[in-house]
A and B are shown apart, each in its own frame.
Chain A
Amino acid sequence: MRRALLVLLVSLFTLPLVAQTGWVRHPGMRLPGQITRDANGIAHIRAFTDFDAAFLNGWVHAEDRLFHMDENRRTASGTLAELLGSAALGSDVQLRTLGLRRAAQLSQLELSPRVTELLNAYSAGVNAWVASHQLPPEYAAIEITQFEPWTPLDSIAVAKLLAFGLSFELDIEPTVALLTYQGAGQVLGINGTALFFEDLWRSQPFNPASTVPDATSTSAIGGEENLEAKEEFLKSIEAGAKSLDPNAVALAAKWVEQLKEIPFFQKILDPELRGASNEWAIAASLSATNQPLIANDPHLALRMPSTFYPIVITGQRLNAAGVGFPGVPLVVQGHNERFAWGSTVNPMDVTDAYQEQVVPDATSPSGFSSIYRGAREPLAPIPQTFRANQLGNNTPNDLVVVPAAGSIPAATLIVSRRNAPIVSLDFATGAAVSVQWVGHGPTRELETFAIWNEAGTLADFRRGLEFFDVGSQNWIYTDIDNNIAYFTSGEMPIREDLQAGAVQGLPPFFLRNGSAGGNDWIRLTTPRPATQASSYQILASSEMPQVINPARGWIVNANNDPAGTTLDNNPLNQLRAGGGIFYLNAGYSGFRAGRITQLIRAQVAANQKFTIADMQRIQADVVLLDAQYFVPFITRALANAKASSVPALQALGANPAVTEAVNRLNGWDFSTPTGIPEGYDAADVNGTLSAPSSAEIQHSIAATLYSVWRGQFIKNTIDAVLGAGNLPRPSSANTVTALKNLLDNFDTRGGAGASGVQFFNVPGVPNNAQTAPTRRDILILASMADTLTLLASEGFAPAFNRSTNQEDYRWGKLHRIVFAHPLGGPYNTPPAGGQFPAPLAGLTGIPVDGGFEVVDASSHNSRANTLNGFMFGSGPVRRMVSEAQDARINAVTSLPGGPSGLVASPLYINLLRPWLTNEAFPIDIGQRIVLPWGTR
């Protein structure tokens, strides 16, 4: 009794001390640890052991982001409806079918004891927080009072989800487009295959920026265009397309349409929302401080709470600062004591969709088999039970089982040969589609971060890369030894036909034939190397694009072609050193990399050394690269119109509104400021708005005119042709690239593509009645006239009040963003629970500078033609610049949101306003605890 009293007294005495210093020892911790919050509310964790650091990592994630974490793990596991109700069943069915949690279970078996211990500690920290606190208010809104304890598998599933979002892609829309074009070609007498490859879905990017060739002054792997080889390639595609079953293609197309209804998949399938990023490195020789610099800004969904969670973790070996994902321990992008790293998505083709032939088979456990090379192979069944939260009945935790019927399957069927789920099946015809993704197997990305969260050398960084198996990334690196480097990671499967030297059927960026054989990934026939997780043969790490300390002193990647394999518009004409086709991906974005490369080259040419401020200036760049290309055509068209004797063109040249608009583009610097006092621009300082300068206003108006013109020009050229034939349209960025190609070749082809299709047709006038340049100029200027009509229309009235005064067309009225929360309403920003009122009356969202494919990513669809069509939803979820000094990394960063996911917390959006104006704050690693006796 006395002892108990003594303990109580001692506790009462010491508690205030603990509260003051932040040292805690929650149940489940091995030793005390410390959580302190800096001025930005960012948690700094310090512990004697890595176990306790990971425990507190889980604790703060739960404290700040429990609902976000739960949403992530349930999305990954296909149990989101148990949280959000039956509206999420579609997502659950698809993700359960695709099997991310199944894949996570396989990954768990491959994890090292160290990572397993960190995951256990993290889970214990999450659950300790939940055990000692009430659930956050989001749960009350959905009538949930219980939290299913967090497990290591949940973290691995969340990691899988992230990897999936960064690497999964479907080849079905291109397949549908190719087959449709080919079918139309046969009817219309044009080359449908060339229409796809040469005209509209080009592999060649808008800008030739390619990372390794640019950094090293070497030529791209692709080399010169070989017309003969191209002809052969197109013929092989024509023949290959015949191997596909139209039923399977239709089934696949229908499945994709279903996916597009699901918000999670919209982010993956819509190129404007899909993950992207920028990164570049500057060598010490080009740096003002003689110390190397890197910059990185990954682009993901701009949402509430913000995708990333900023954190500083210091344990016994762990010591890193940067950002992580709620639900997963450790820093995934940031720096440690010796090196800093960042990443961009490397769109490597690690997913194949297959047409399958399924037949009833009483001997199969599922009752069905697939046909492979004429033989039956049983499909493995995985029974599924779906549950949904019954919302709105005031009954807490009211989960009901959803009976299997219609779109709710009783089981998932797996093609065992390739561990590929059947994603769509027509029982009547037996046609089916399966999907094989590298991430379906065991992968070990968390090992990478466990290694990188400790101090190390370039060799350690490369060791960590070996474990980053899926969710392929381009990595940018610098260290205190003055190195800069670029690596690509991820296990790239070797396809049997490509390795044999010739595509069988269609290439891997289309639907493949799973029944005939020849399109499979090659299985390992030797024991799996320790550095590999996949059971298939993969590209060796030495074959992956990479460069260390390049001669030029700079490296750029922004999801562009890393090795230049697509610059000749053929991604399949490179060979591996030991034989076989060297294939990475069908195509890449070239816009942002092109602009960054342009800016770096200009500064290098001017002999100006780079500073952290220069890196931030490039990150904040909102110049439209495509406008640099297209605006001269517009201004020339007006000049031609003024001098023309063709009445239609002459009339456009005489149109004062068109003339005024084109003249505005003449003096434009291609930047995209908002031009309104309510708008957030890089020119504003630290989140505080200032009135736009007159130059900003003029650039803003030009940005509006051009951005709307772009969509109208696409409408009047490519889409007019495709619409007439009811043909599929290429993606937003592909279309702009296609237009550039048509104009590049205008002098020789007169606006016709390699397919023979003429894209420059003036409505109501036969093409032979006007010269090609005249038709081009008419369409260019008519698109501007259409732009002005659109901006003065009722549809744009909430922004411009039907004004015809071009001074009113400020870009900020159109280019806006809502940071959406899954629960919507007050959780969105604006209004962030009243913390960020909507700045513009009658218009949703926050006006921000930026635009189509600018470096400071804020892109919209190039076809945009509505009031809200220019809004954006994806962009830099983190900006970072790091300077590798002699003994430490000096880093600044910013985030769109705040550490907390609680809408009532001031930390919900405390970092948002500075992010909106491109400010950054310093972030440093913690001070590791050095024990007096040293450690073993």
Chain B
Amino acid sequence: MKKMKWLLVAMLFTALPLCAQDRKTTISLFVSQVSMDGGELDDAFETELEDGNGFGLAGYVPFNRWLGVEGAIFSLRNEARLVFEGAAPFELGRADLVPITVGVQAHLTGGMRFDPYVGAGAAYVTASDLYSEDLDIVGIGRIDIESEFTYFVNAGLAFDFNEHFGIAVDGRYIPFEPSTQAAAGDEVELDLTPTILSAALRFRF
């Protein structure tokens, strides 16, 4: 799964300079805060995820002043816990998510200095195993989270200082409810849907 993730990233960024030869390509570096949904697992249990943080990298290639394509990758970290009957939390460990998104972005002011935009597209999300001492104590052990194709939507506002540099804020929503499995073999669907709020530095060339 990890190999596939990095292959996609490599393809994306290899392709960007090709696009950039005759169009202004934008690279954005994101610093992100992320909140994940969590939610009920059954009548008694729910997952609860602390707000986490992360970082990301995106490339944008315009088709014209109004439309373009964006590819992005994020690395997100959230502490997850299991909550029983509204109380009694115990740690599930760190939910490390890597969403990779490719989508169309529409610029509402046609590439003005203040550049609000919206986007949508496909996403592929991978996550590391959940693991904590608490999981070991109760005998669940390591929880494997399956990677999943999904979609995303985003919106943001960019401000260009000059022809090459700018900043942006970006909000991104990626539904992610993967199947998870531990040593005992029972499959559980977990809602890890991240909402990513990021600040970005933009470099255009």
A932 contacts B41, CB within 8 Å? yes
Task: From known contacts A932-B186, A934-B185, infer whether A21 and B87 are also in contact, taking CB-CB under 8 Å.
Answer: yes
Judged by a CB distance under 8 angstroms, whether B32 is at the interface is no
B140 contacts A934, CB within 8 Å? yes
A32 contacts B140, CB within 8 Å? no
The contact of A32 among B41, B44, B87, B181, by CB within 8 Å, is: B87
A48 contacts B185, CB within 8 Å? no
A931 contacts B140, CB within 8 Å? yes
Judged by a CB distance under 8 angstroms, whether B42 is at the interface is yes
8 Å CB contacts to B: which residues of A1-57? 14, 17-18, 20-21, 23, 30-34, 48-49, 51
B184 contacts A933, CB within 8 Å? yes
| Min CB gap B87→A, angstroms | 4
Judged by a CB distance under 8 angstroms, whether A929 is at the interface is yes
The contact of A31 among B137, B184, B185, by CB within 8 Å, is: B137
A929 contacts B137, CB within 8 Å? no
B140 contacts A929, CB within 8 Å? no
| Min CB gap B179→A, angstroms | 11
Chain A residues near B183 (CB-CB < 8 A): 936
Judged by a CB distance under 8 angstroms, whether A935 is at the interface is yes
Judged by a CB distance under 8 angstroms, whether A732 is at the interface is no
Measured CB to CB, the nearest residue on chain A to B42 is A932
Measured CB to CB, the nearest residue on chain B to A52 is B137
The contact of B88 among A21, A931, A932, A935, by CB within 8 Å, is: A21
B138 contacts A21, CB within 8 Å? no
Task: From known contacts A31-B134, A49-B138, infer whether A934 and B90 are also in contact, taking CB-CB under 8 Å.
Answer: no
Measured CB to CB, the nearest residue on chain B to A33 is B88
Judged by a CB distance under 8 angstroms, whether B89 is at the interface is yes
A933 contacts B181, CB within 8 Å? yes
Judged by a CB distance under 8 angstroms, whether A316 is at the interface is yes
The docked-state distance in angstroms from the alpha carbon of A23 to that of B188 is 25
A932 contacts B188, CB within 8 Å? yes
8 Å CB contacts to B: which residues of A891-936? 929-936
B88 contacts A32, CB within 8 Å? yes
Judged by a CB distance under 8 angstroms, whether B159 is at the interface is no
The contact of B90 among A20, A31, A936, by CB within 8 Å, is: A31
A34 contacts B88, CB within 8 Å? yes
Indicate the member of B88, B89, B182, B186 with the most A CB atoms within 10 Å: B88
B184 contacts A21, CB within 8 Å? no
B87 contacts A929, CB within 8 Å? no
The contact of B139 among A18, A34, A930, A936, by CB within 8 Å, is: A936
| Min CB gap B146→A, angstroms | 14
Task: From known contacts A31-B137, A49-B138, A933-B182, infer whether A23 and B143 are also in contact, taking CB-CB under 8 Å.
Answer: no
Interface size on A, residues (CB 8 A): 23
Chain B residues near A20 (CB-CB < 8 A): 87
The docked-state distance in angstroms from the alpha carbon of A49 to that of B88 is 13
Chain A residues near B139 (CB-CB < 8 A): 316, 931, 935-936
Measured CB to CB, the nearest residue on chain A to B138 is A48
Measured CB to CB, the nearest residue on chain B to A17 is B87
Judged by a CB distance under 8 angstroms, whether B165 is at the interface is no
8 Å CB contacts to B: which residues of A205-248? none
Judged by a CB distance under 8 angstroms, whether B75 is at the interface is no
Q: Mark B125-144, 1 if CB is under 8 A from A, else 0.
A: 00000000010011111010
| Min CB gap B131→A, angstroms | 12
B138 contacts A18, CB within 8 Å? no
A30 contacts B137, CB within 8 Å? yes
The contact of A934 among B87, B88, B89, B184, by CB within 8 Å, is: B184
Chain A residues near B185 (CB-CB < 8 A): 934
Q: Mark B142-177, 1 if CB is under 8 A from A, else 0.
A: 010000000000000000000000000000000000
The contact of B138 among A14, A17, A31, A34, by CB within 8 Å, is: A31
The contact of A23 among B87, B140, B184, by CB within 8 Å, is: B87
Chain B residues near A21 (CB-CB < 8 A): 85-88
B181 contacts A929, CB within 8 Å? no
| Min CB gap A121→B, angstroms | 12
Chain B residues near A933 (CB-CB < 8 A): 140, 143, 180-182, 184, 186, 188
The docked-state distance in angstroms from the alpha carbon of A933 to that of B90 is 14
Chain B residues near A31 (CB-CB < 8 A): 88, 90, 134, 137-138
| Min CB gap B139→A, angstroms | 4
Judged by a CB distance under 8 angstroms, whether B114 is at the interface is no
Indicate the member of B86, B139, B180 with the most A CB atoms within 10 Å: B139
Judged by a CB distance under 8 angstroms, whether B203 is at the interface is no
The docked-state distance in angstroms from the alpha carbon of A703 to that of B183 is 68
The docked-state distance in angstroms from the alpha carbon of A936 to that of B183 is 6
The docked-state distance in angstroms from the alpha carbon of A932 to that of B81 is 13
Measured CB to CB, the nearest residue on chain A to B133 is A30
Indicate the member of A929, A933, A934 with the most B CB atoms within 10 Å: A933
8 Å CB contacts to A: which residues of B66-120? 82, 84-90
The docked-state distance in angstroms from the alpha carbon of A32 to that of B87 is 9
| Min CB gap B142→A, angstroms | 10
Chain B residues near A932 (CB-CB < 8 A): 41-42, 45, 82, 186, 188
B138 contacts A931, CB within 8 Å? yes
B87 contacts A936, CB within 8 Å? no
8 Å CB contacts to B: which residues of A631-680? none
Chain B residues near A49 (CB-CB < 8 A): 137-138
Chain A residues near B184 (CB-CB < 8 A): 933-936
Measured CB to CB, the nearest residue on chain A to B181 is A933
Measured CB to CB, the nearest residue on chain B to A31 is B90
8 Å CB contacts to B: which residues of A451-502? none
Q: Mark A312-332, 1 if CB is under 8 A from B, else 0.
A: 000010000000000000000
The docked-state distance in angstroms from the alpha carbon of A930 to that of B138 is 11
Measured CB to CB, the nearest residue on chain B to A34 is B88
The docked-state distance in angstroms from the alpha carbon of A17 to that of B186 is 30
| Min CB gap A812→B, angstroms | 49
Chain B residues near A30 (CB-CB < 8 A): 134, 137
The docked-state distance in angstroms from the alpha carbon of A246 to that of B5 is 94
Measured CB to CB, the nearest residue on chain A to B182 is A933
The docked-state distance in angstroms from the alpha carbon of A934 to that of B185 is 7
Measured CB to CB, the nearest residue on chain B to A32 is B88
Chain B residues near A936 (CB-CB < 8 A): 139-141, 183-184
8 Å CB contacts to A: which residues of B21-42? 41-42
Measured CB to CB, the nearest residue on chain B to A30 is B137
The docked-state distance in angstroms from the alpha carbon of A51 to that of B139 is 12
The docked-state distance in angstroms from the alpha carbon of A936 to that of B182 is 9
Measured CB to CB, the nearest residue on chain A to B85 is A21
Measured CB to CB, the nearest residue on chain B to A930 is B44
Chain A residues near B86 (CB-CB < 8 A): 17, 21
Chain A residues near B90 (CB-CB < 8 A): 31-32, 48
The docked-state distance in angstroms from the alpha carbon of A929 to that of B90 is 13
Chain A residues near B188 (CB-CB < 8 A): 932-933
Measured CB to CB, the nearest residue on chain A to B139 is A935
B140 contacts A316, CB within 8 Å? no
The docked-state distance in angstroms from the alpha carbon of A931 to that of B139 is 9
The docked-state distance in angstroms from the alpha carbon of A34 to that of B89 is 12
The docked-state distance in angstroms from the alpha carbon of A932 to that of B182 is 10
Chain A residues near B143 (CB-CB < 8 A): 933
Chain A residues near B181 (CB-CB < 8 A): 933
Chain B residues near A33 (CB-CB < 8 A): 88
Chain A residues near B134 (CB-CB < 8 A): 30-31
Chain A residues near B186 (CB-CB < 8 A): 932-934
Besides A930-B44, A931-B139, A935-B138, 20 other A-B contacts (C-beta < 8 A): A17-B86, A17-B87, A18-B87, A21-B88, A23-B84, A31-B88, A31-B137, A32-B84, A33-B88, A34-B88, A48-B90, A49-B137, A49-B138, A316-B139, A929-B44, A933-B181, A933-B186, A934-B186, A936-B139, A936-B140
Query: Residues on B close to A: CB < 8 A?
Result: 41-42, 44-45, 82, 84-90, 134, 137-141, 143, 180-186, 188
A–B complex contacts, Cβ < 8 Å, 7 sampled: A48-B90, A929-B44, A930-B44, A932-B82, A933-B181, A935-B184, A936-B140
Query: Residues on A close to B: CB < 8 A?
Result: 14, 17-18, 20-21, 23, 30-34, 48-49, 51, 316, 929-936
Top 6 closest pairs, chain A to chain B, by CB: A934-B184, A935-B139, A933-B182, A32-B88, A23-B88, A934-B186
